């Protein structure tokens, strides 16, 4: 029996660094709004306190997930997928799903809002890792290998699109990465990619507000006070920061100019205050996290573990990439937060669990039989 290796030091360190930066930035970006809103009772530290309260159990769950032998998750793939689909469906039930700022993505449990789509991301990765590793000989077969997997992925994506297109894009992209790494034929992968692109275009066309976001993306300043306002304020914040920034806690855009300043557009606040250097640091941290995650996947001998590590890495870093692209107006606006940095309990906890599972995989790089 081979001894377990210590968890990946660099992955753990990068995660903690991003988490610490995130807690500070949530305070920095939210204290003005928190001090003015009735729901916070005028407490300027309201959002930071809640972020810390979510971070603590999130870290505990990360350490717990790290202790679990990762192949145990394989047996719960279908159950987790069913729970994920149920949660996504409940959001759409009138009276159950809760709408915030025009988006219906949450279920309220007591005083806590739960976002099922965050749970669904992790569940889908575990399910696909289990299914693809079990279908090792059939992955290159379209009819018996990939097509049956397209049904659950498509169902989760459709339910998620009703809540947010950006989250659905992250889910589908993660699934495509896993399918490619599982050994799918390039032409099958190209067909799947084309179908996803076509369905994405249809999802944009049938919803006027999504189409407006595309128009705003092309020229946000053309409709400055309308659909382009948020992107324009983000670009103004980034431009005002220059190379070195105006100084931490000295930014102006967070003072009720930039919407979602402590959630989806928190990177714009950082860009104004820490400049290009600050935003580049965040990008580098995520690039290093991606490198460590795929390094773990590459060095894991067991197919399920390899696909699980690759899927979780693609999930976390895919969200980061999409958020950075939205904040810099490289892609149309979506509702995808910046992992570990943006305010949000469901996202923070689930991303920490993802890292915990990744750390667990890093402890068992060899064949499963060596650890039993």
> How far is it, in rounded angstroms, from Cα 217 to Cα 215?
5
Instruction: Work out the average pLDDT over 312-325.
Output: 95
Residue 60 lies in a domain: yes
DSSP 48-85: HHHHHHHHHHHHHHHHHHHHS-GGGGGGGHHHHHHHHH
> How far is it, in rounded angstroms, from Cα 200 to Cα 186?
21
% residues pLDDT > 70 (the chain)? 91
Q: What is the per-residue pLDDT for 158?
A: 87
Claim: this prediction has a pTM higher than 0.95: no
- Does residue 102 surpass a pLDDT of 60? no
Q: In which domain, by residue range, is 246 found?
A: 9-371
The residue among 39 and 348 whose pLDDT is bigger is 348
Say if CB 337 and CB 263 are below 8 A apart.
Answer: yes
Residue 342 lies in a domain: yes
Instruction: Work out the average pLDDT over 199-210.
Output: 79
Name the pLDDT band for 40 (thresholds 50, 70, 90). confident
Residue 1 lies in a domain: no
- Does residue 137 surpass a pLDDT of 60? no
Residues 173-186: tens digit of each pLDDT? 999 889 888 877 77
Q: What is the per-residue pLDDT for 242?
A: 92
Q: What is the per-residue pLDDT for 91?
A: 83
Residues 75-90: tens digit of each pLDDT? 998 999 999 899 888 8
Q: Which residues contact 84 (CB under 8 A, 6 or more apart)?
A: 116, 119, 120, 123, 124, 156
Q: How many other CB atoms sit within 10 Å of the CB of residue 95?
A: 5
Say if CB 229 and CB 194 are below 8 A apart.
Answer: no
Q: What is the per-residue pLDDT for 136?
A: 63
56-65, 92-101, 280-289: which has the minimum mean pLDDT? Answer: 92-101
- Does residue 243 surpass a pLDDT of 60? yes
Residue 170 lies in a domain: yes
Residues 341-366: tens digit of each pLDDT? 999 888 999 999 999 999 999 998 88
The residue among 234 and 223 whose pLDDT is bigger is 234
> How far is it, in rounded angstroms, from Cα 114 to Cα 168?
17
Instruction: Work out the average pLDDT over 103-131.
Output: 81
Say how many domains are in the chain. Answer: 1
Say if CB 229 and CB 253 are below 8 A apart.
Answer: no
Residue 3 lies in a domain: no
Say if CB 184 and CB 131 are below 8 A apart.
Answer: no
Our CA dihedral for 315, 320, 325, 328, rounded to 10 degrees, sits at 170
Provide φ and ψ at 103, rounded to 5°. Answer: -110, 135
Residue 48 lies in a domain: yes
Residue 311 lies in a domain: yes
Name the pLDDT band for 290 (thresholds 50, 70, 90). very high
Instruction: Work out the average pLDDT over 8-20.
Output: 96
Q: What is the per-residue pLDDT for 116?
A: 83
Residue 97 lies in a domain: yes
Tokens representing residue 20 in the block: 């610490």
H-helix or E-strand spanning residue 264: none
Of the candidates 298, 348, 297, 360, the one whose C-alpha atom is nearest the C-alpha of residue 319 is 348
């Amino acid at each position: 029996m081979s001894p377990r290796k210590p968890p990946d030091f660099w992955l753990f360190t990068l995660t903690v660094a991003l988490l610490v930066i995130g807690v500070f930035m949530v305070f920095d970006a939210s204290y003005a709004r928190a001090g003015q809103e009735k729901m916070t009772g005028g407490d300027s530290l309201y959002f930071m306190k809640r972020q810390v309260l979510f971070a603590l159990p999130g870290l505990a769950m990360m350490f717990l997930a790290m202790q679990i032998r990762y192949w145990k998750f394989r047996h719960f793939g279908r159950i987790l997928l069913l729970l994920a689909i149920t949660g996504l469906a409940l959001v759409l039930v009138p009276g159950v799903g809760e709408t915030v700022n025009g988006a219906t993505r949450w279920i309220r449990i007591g005083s806590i809002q739960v976002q099922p789509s965050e749970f669904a991301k992790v569940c889908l990765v575990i399910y696909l890792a289990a299914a693809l590793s079990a279908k090792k000989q059939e992955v290159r077969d379209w009819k018996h290998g990939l097509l049956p997997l397209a049904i659950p992925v498509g169902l989760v994506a459709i339910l998620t699109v009703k809540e947010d297109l950006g989250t659905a894009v992250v889910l589908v992209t993660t699934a495509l990465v896993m399918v490619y790494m599982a050994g799918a034929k390039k032409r099958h992968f190209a067909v799947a990619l084309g179908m996803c692109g076509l369905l994405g275009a249809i999802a944009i066309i049938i919803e006027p507000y999504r189409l407006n976001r595309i128009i705003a993306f092309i020229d946000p300043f053309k409709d400055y006070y309308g659909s382009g306002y948020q992107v324009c304020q983000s670009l103004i914040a980034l431009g005002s920061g220059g190379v070195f920034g105006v100084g931490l806690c000295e930014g102006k855009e967070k003072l009720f100019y930039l919407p979602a300043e402590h959630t989806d557009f928190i990177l714009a606040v950082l860009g104004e205050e820490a400049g290009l250097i600050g935003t580049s640091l965040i990008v580098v941290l995520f690039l290093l996290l991606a490198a460590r995650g795929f390094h773990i996947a590459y060095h894991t001998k067991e197919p399920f573990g390899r696909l699980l590590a690759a899927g979780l890495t693609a999930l976390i870093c895919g969200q980061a990439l999409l958020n950075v692209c939205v904040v810099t107006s490289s892609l149309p606006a979506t509702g995808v937060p910046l992992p570990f940095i943006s305010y949000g309990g469901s996202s923070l906890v689930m991303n920490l669990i993802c890292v915990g599972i990744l750390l667990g995989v890093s402890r068992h790089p060899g064949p499963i039989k060596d650890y039993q």
